[in-house]
Amino acid sequence: MNMEKLFAFVKTIVIEMLPEIISVLIISAVGFLIFLVISYQTKDLIRKFRPIWYLQSALLFSVVIAAKSIAYSSFGLDAGGLDLVDKASQTLLWLLGTFVANQALHLFVWEGVFLRKYKSTPPALLMGLATAFLYLVAIYGIMTFIFERPMTGLIVSSGIMAGVLGLAMQNSLADLVAGVSISIERPFKIGDWVELDDGTLGEVVDINWRATHIKSWHNSLYILPNARISNARVHNYSRPDETYGFWIFVHIPSTVPPTLVRRVLLQAAVESEKVLIDPAPVIRVSEAGGSYKYMVFVHFESYPSHYAGLDDLFMHVWVQCARHGIVPSAVTSEIIMRKGVAEEIKGPSPDDLLAEVELFSEVDEGSRQGLVSKMKVHAMPMGEEVVCQGDQGTSLYIISAGMVRVIIDTSDGGTQEVAKLGAGQYFGEMSLLAHEPRTATVMAHTDCQLLEIDKESMKSVFDSHPE
């Protein structure tokens, strides 16, 4: 029965109304195209000045109504001509109303609310579906109210057909809906590295209405239906930013002082070119026993680059340990049997550290020993302020381990980082030599060990070595 109504409706449209519909559409289409060209030429101006949209919309409707009045009064049309003009103007008003509504949707929803909430442009598929829906409503209004051909039967028949198609294509429709959801929520984008709860891991290379394509480490491709991804737990390695944090564990015999190990591991992380300085590397003791377990927490530029970064970090850990005579444990737990006095591993002495600093490299050993006897050793935790800009300074600081940030106050009331200093470098010499306030604030970027030499100690060195 419904199919018969559908065929009867189509027959009526084709045989009885098609000539009239074509005439009306020709007249209204010309006006509609003119308005489209005008709107296209002014779209950039409307984006910059939204009030122009209200003025343009009012002018479009006013022009149609005025043109209708002129046609009624000036051309001496008969009843058929007047009816044609009336239907053409009403059709044009419906189309213009839909066009203005679609413009409002773009200006105030897609480029307004949506952009502010999701920080990105809406997917083209979603905008296309919304535009199609608006024009379908317009067609329904034109046929029902202008040509007086109710489309209820067509809608009911189309609904039944849509239900049958929906059952037959439910998986594809589920992928379509999931694709729209993914496009709106954007849990990942092209170029992101993701891992699903089933172990699927790779780089997102394409997202379409049906499936998401993920390129694996093996240069092969996973093609995953969107419905499956929308129901999965997704680990995005590229969010909230590309920086990727990772930690490794290093086992060192308990005979090695933990303060020395932390300094050695921190120096290895700082010297590695693959490890980021900001956020700063962190070294922590994780477990204690026959051997100590140290956690080295670092950051790399991105998830795919962290494998090469780990290789570089391990090499620097080995070099630093070998330089200080430290042999990492081969196992995490062991039985240690000692006979006599166990070998003691010590860190470099303050005199050795001082000799490595360029400022004191030419100072004789006796003078250095005098400085060592008077200098203070400070252990500064990450984030601790060492000196403050504007304070009166009477001492020089040498970094024996770790890294510090040099920060200055700006004219607008903010702060600006101007440098990072590492092991073997020093700061505070200008305040010490010129008797001026500190010119910058220095903060510990990582856990640091600093050697402080005061003014009186430096005076004896200057007297002995005026050069």
pLDDT score for 342? 47
pLDDT score for 430? 77
Please report the domains of the chain, with CATH numbers, ordered by start residue: 2-168 (no CATH), 186-236 (2.30.30.60), 244-323 (3.30.70.100), 350-464 (2.60.120.10)
pLDDT score for 333? 46
Give the distance, in angstroms, between the CA of residue 327 and the centroid of all CA atoms in the same chain.
41
Q: pLDDT averaged over consecutive 10-residue blocks of the chain (467 residues)?
A: 51 50 57 64 67 71 71 68 76 82 83 77 77 85 76 58 57 70 81 92 88 92 88 91 92 88 90 90 87 92 92 90 80 49 53 69 70 79 88 83 88 87 83 78 88 76 61
pLDDT score for 106? 82
- Measured CA to CA, the distance from residue 429 to residue 461 in angstroms comes to 14
| Residues whose CB falls within 8 Å of the CB of residue 394, separated by 6 or more in sequence, listed in order | 431, 432, 454, 455
pLDDT score for 187? 86
Q: What is the pLDDT of residues 44-85, one digit of tens each?
A: 666 666 676 677 777 767 777 777 676 666 666 677 777 777
pLDDT score for 314? 92
pLDDT score for 14? 47
pLDDT score for 1? 46
- Measured CA to CA, the distance from residue 443 to residue 397 in angstroms comes to 12
pLDDT score for 39? 66
pLDDT score for 278? 87
